[in-house]
Structure 1
Amino acid sequence: MTWISKLTTAFGLLLLAHSCYSAQEFSTLQSYRSSGTLQIAPAALPVDITIETVAALLIASLGLVLGTQQLKPIQWHVWAGKIEREGAGGANDADGKTNKDYVRHPFRFLETRPGFVDIRQQRKTFGDWVRDGGNTK
C-alpha cells in the first residue's frame, strides 16, 4: 500500500468511528429524553450522521481499492508470456518484490518434452524387423 492509500483508508475509518460515536450518543440522548413522564416517539437518525457514515464508507473503500496490487491476467498463457518477455520484473508486485508463485520460464516443460512419435515409421521398422526374422543388425 502506498502512503496515499493508507492515509485515505485511515481518514475514512476515523470518519466512520466518529459517525458511529455520534449515532450512539444520539440514541443515548433519545433514551434519556423518552424515559421522562412524557412519552415521545423515537426520532429518526439525523441526516448529517447518515451522510457522514456513507461518506466514511466510500472514503475507506476508496483507500482500500487504491492500495491493492495490479491484477494478474485471467488467462495463464497471457501471464506466462508477460513473464517470458519481461523476466523476473514481470512477476513483481506493487512493492517491487517478486511474487512467491513466480516460475522462471513458464513454458520450460513444453520445450523439454519429447517430440511426437511417428507411429507409421515405427510400424514399418517393426515390420522390417519381423520379416528379417527378428535379427538385430
Structure 2
Amino acid sequence: MTWSSNSVTGLGLFFLAHACYSAYEHSALHSVSTASISSIAGSSASVSSLPIDISIETIVAVFTIVLGQVLGTSELRPIQWRVWAGKIEREGEKGFMNGDGQVDKDYVGNPFRMLESRPGFIDIRKQRKEFAEWVREGGGADAAPKS
C-alpha cells in the first residue's frame, strides 16, 4: 500500500478509536449518573442511546478506513483469460509491478507456455503409412526370426 492509503487508513482508525472511547465514556458517565439519580428518586433508570455525534463519528471512521483500503488495492485484472494472457505476452513482468516496484507474487509468465510446448496430436494414419513403408523397405526383415 502507498503512503496515502496508509495515512487515510490510519486517520480512520484514529477516528474509530476516538469514537469507541467516547462511547465508553458516555456509557460510564450515564451509568454513574443514573445510579445516583435512581438511588435518590427510588425509580428505575431509563435507557438512553448514544449521542448522534458519536454515531456519526463512528460511521465516518468506518467509511474513511474503507476508503483507505480501496486506495491501496492493486489494479484489477481482466476477467477474460485471453485478455489477461495477451497483457502478459505484450508487457511481460513490467505490466505486473506493484506500487513498490516488485513483480506481483502470483505472476507466472506466459499462461499458454504449457500449451505451446506440448507435442502435437498423433497422426495414426501417417504412422501406419510410415510403418508400412519401413516394412516394404526391409526394415522388418532384420528383426524377423530365421528358421
TM-score range, shorter-chain basis?
Answer: 0.7 to 0.9
The equivalences for 1:25-40 within 5 A come to 25-36=25-36, 37=39, 38=41, 39-40=44-45
Backbone CA RMSD of aligned residues: 2.2
1:8 match: 8
Give the Cα separation in 2 of the matches to 1:2 and 1:122: 60
* Identity value in percent: 55
Q: Which runs of 5+ in 1 are unaligned?
A: none
Deviation string 1:50-92 (CA, Å, 9 cap, x unpaired) is: 1110111001111111111112334444322211100210221
Distance in 2 (CA, whole Å) between partners of 1:7 and 1:60 is 10
Amino acid of the structure 1 residue aligned with 2:124: I
Farther off after superposition, 111-120 or 25-34: 111-120
Q: 1:129: how far off?
A: 4.7
- Which has the larger Rg? 2
The CA deviation at 1:130 is 5.3
Distance in 2 (alpha carbons) for counterparts of 1:20 and 1:95 = 34
User: Are the counterparts in 2 of residues 10 and 60 from structure 1 also a CA contact under 8 Å?
Assistant: yes
Q: Tell me the distance in 1 between the aligned counterparts of 2:82 and 2:101.
A: 22
Once the two structures are TM-superposed, the CA of residue 43 in structure 1 deviates from its matched residue by 1.0
Structure 1 Cα separation of the partners of residues 54 and 12 of structure 2: 14
Paired residues in the alignment total 136
- Once residues 11 and 101 of structure 1 are traced to their aligned partners in structure 2, the CA distance between those partners, rounded to angstroms, is 31
The 2-side partners of 1:132 and 1:97 are apart by 61
User: Residue 115 of structure 1 corresponds to which residue in structure 2?
Assistant: 120
Counterpart residue number, 1:135: 141
Secondary structure of 1:35's counterpart equals: helix
Structure 1 length-normalised TM: 0.84
Is the Cα contact below 8 Å between 1:91 and 1:102 reproduced in 2? yes
Gaps of 5+ in 2: 143-147
Higher alpha-carbon deviation: 94-103 or 125-134? 125-134
